[in-house]
Amino acid sequence: MADQKAVQALAVMREEVKQELLTDIIPFWRKLRDEEYGGYYGWLSYDLALDKKAEKGCILNSRITWFFANAYTAYKKGLFTDAECKAAGFFGSDLLAEAKHGYQFLKEHCLDRECGGIYWSLNYDGTPLDTTKHTYNQAFCIYALSSYYEASGDEEALALARELFRLIEEKCTDGIGYLEAFTREFAPEVNEKLSENGVLADKTMNTLLHVFEAYTELYRVAGDKEVGERLRWIMDVFADKVYNPAKRRQEVFFDAEYNTILDLHSYGHDIETAWLMDRGVEVLADSEYEEKMSPITQALTSHIYETAFDGNSLANECDRGVVNAHRVWWVQAETVVGFLNGYGKTPGHDEYLKAALAQWAFIKAYVVDARSGSEWFWEVNEDGSPIADRPIVEPWKCPYHNGRMCIEVMRRIS
């Protein structure tokens, strides 16, 4: 792709993504705000029926809080203007108000003041429902609190993030990795919540990745030395235990000693990991770890491009040799960022730029749900037709992946 043509194509994508953020994603999630009981409603069916008494996932509310905090920070940094906000039906200051609404729900309801940590889920009225303490969930609350601190300057939020960091390090590690699931009182229990594909995992790539992501954000906004040291430790674990150099992929599910227990290639996690690891290295600013991790992130990106990208979109995963070709909303969003990141790190690879543009075109055409009152489909078939038994909102379906994609695209394209 010629340089001038690439510049023009990127400029068009940036504008389209900005409009998607301002006119679709932000207004949709603002309407999910629960003014009576706090937080955000937890379920909207495929048929767009809102269940105001559905379970409220703490992960969902952490991710929504993170999203609005980052949207407000993007606004403050000039990625979009007051006039553009007004044209979309809100003010820039409304984004901070939404983030504060989410933060108050996390602080007042999701946080267990008696035993410490974040619950798995709440009833619609904010009372505890599933009191499981999962390391993954603690991490996402750190992610949200750190971003909210950046957006608001609220020192209490930073103190809570640091408190959860210490909790993870004191209660959720065994010396070689992060443990997964615990009772309310932090006694270990079976990791059903982050195990899939017929296995029960003692350790997962997914939890390790999102602890890393949360710690990256905490280190970026606060610069705590001990958080930086844990970032280095996590990268060592990824490089030595999780990344499989022979297959140029991550392993996903492990026993307690980090032996893989399933032949699974998670395409979406690999492309997401590539850019999140690069972001962590960038934030840490440690040349030794840049040298160590860059070959891994480049290999992940190139292997996903060669293996899972069909020229328009990314398949979901390959389980024991069988490809799941469904196009999942979060995988498509992470693909845009991952390939854009790959192009930025290795500018000669025009194929990554073309892939990011093509993936965005697929999202526009098939993943964005054009029905009034909706947002993105959870999942579509390879041909783009929607899979009609998947909700639009539920405890995992949130604005974290697609909202972040929009902000990352705008941030990366000047």
pLDDT for position 173: 96
pLDDT digits (tens, 9 = 90+) for 276-306: 999 999 999 999 999 999 999 999 999 999 9
The ranges assigned to domains in the chain are 3-412
Cβ atoms of 191 and 198 within 8 Å: the answer is no
**Average pLDDT across the chain, whole number:** 97
pLDDT band at 410 (very low <50, low <70, confident <90, very high): very high
Residue type, 196: E
| pLDDT at 48 > cutoff 70 | yes
CA–CA distance, 378 with 387 (Å, rounded to integer): 8
Q: Kindly state the average pLDDT of the residues 70-91.
A: 97
Q: Which residues are registered as beta bridge partners of 319?
A: 264, 322
| pLDDT at 171 > cutoff 90 | yes
pLDDT for position 2: 54
pLDDT for position 347: 81
pLDDT digits (tens, 9 = 90+) for 1-25: 557 888 899 999 999 999 999 999 9
Q: Give pairs for 220-224: CB < 8 Å, separation 24+.
A: 220/146, 220/283, 221/146, 221/147, 221/149, 221/150, 221/158, 222/146, 222/149, 222/158, 222/161, 222/162, 224/162, 224/165
CATH architecture under which domain 3-412 falls: Alpha/alpha barrel (1.50)
pLDDT for position 79: 97
pLDDT for position 5: 87
pLDDT for position 1: 54
Tell me how long the chain is.
414
CA–CA distance, 61 with 397 (Å, rounded to integer): 11
Distance of CA 259 to the CA centre of its chain: 26
| pLDDT at 186 > cutoff 60 | yes
Give the percent of the chain with pLDDT over 90.
97
| pLDDT at 162 > cutoff 60 | yes
pLDDT for position 299: 98
| pLDDT at 189 > cutoff 80 | yes
pLDDT digits (tens, 9 = 90+) for 326-376: 999 999 999 999 999 999 999 888 999 999 999 999 999 999 999 999 999
